[in-house]
Amino acid sequence: MNDIPLNERIIFALDFADAEVAKDWVNKLDGHVKFFKVGLQLFLAGWWPVIDYIVDRGNKVMVDLKFFDIPETVGLAVQQLVNRKVTFATIHGNDPIIRAAVQHKEGVKILAVTVLTSFDESDMKAMGFTGSVEDLVLLRSRKAVELGCDGVVSSAREAGKLRSGIEKSFMIVTPGIRPGANVDTIQNDDQKRIATAKDAFRNGADYVVIGRPISTSPDPLATVEAIQREIDEALKEQATLG
């Protein structure tokens, strides 16, 4: 994944309830960011026209709807993305669900969501899991890649173990990115397993999904450029290490 342009490494999360607001952000970031995420909120607000708007301007789209249903329904849902110039689509689920999505992807890259970054060890225990988050992420990622997924969505904290623990080539897309060196001191954040962009790429991420740190910044373009510098530094470090 070394040939990915720097302006595609950040996937900007268009987490807005208004399609026109989302379009304004696409225009505002034009050229600086070329990859955008459309999640449930925006998709329900803008439907296909907002996706068409993004791709018609030469950008890439990650449709983050986290399909999770019976296999046939998931397969049919993935088919709806074909010929829409969608680059990534996210899914949840067990082996039959993953197989159905992969079978119908026809050029859309399928990303398996491992464990949401809003979860931590206490949430795992509350759900009855006895292992660690890292172990579950590795288990689910290994299975997803074996079944033909193009990549996974995981936090930066597990990315290093995924790179060393799975033999095949695959993409790691990392949400929960917060700028700054002291992410462990951040409180009242709905994302629990967070990291800096630099740490994400040091650990093996290919893309980072970032929303509020950019959209709430007093100077969004300066924030984008600062994060891109972090990414560039991390990639150069990785290249030096071989």
Of the candidates 23, 37, 60, 66, the residue annotated as catalytic is 66
Q: What pTM value is reported for the model? A: 0.86
Q: Is 28 a catalytic site residue?
A: no
Contact 194, 159 (CB under 8 A): no
Residue 205 and residue 160: Cα distance in Å, rounded? 8
Q: Which helix (H) or strand (E) holds 50?
A: helix 40-55
Contact 44, 233 (CB under 8 A): no
Contact 202, 237 (CB under 8 A): yes
Q: What is the pLDDT of residue 57?
A: 95
| pLDDT < 70: residue spans in the chain | 1, 115-131, 133, 180-194, 242
Q: What is the pLDDT of residue 93?
A: 82
Q: What is the pLDDT of residue 155?
A: 83
The pair of structure tokens assigned to 204 is 């093996």
CB-hemisphere CA count at 13 Å for 211? 14
Q: Which residue has the tokens 């379009």?
A: 23
Please name each of the domains of the chain with its CATH number: 7-241 (3.20.20.70)
Q: Which helix (H) or strand (E) holds 162?
A: helix 156-165
DSSP 108: P
DSSP 217: S
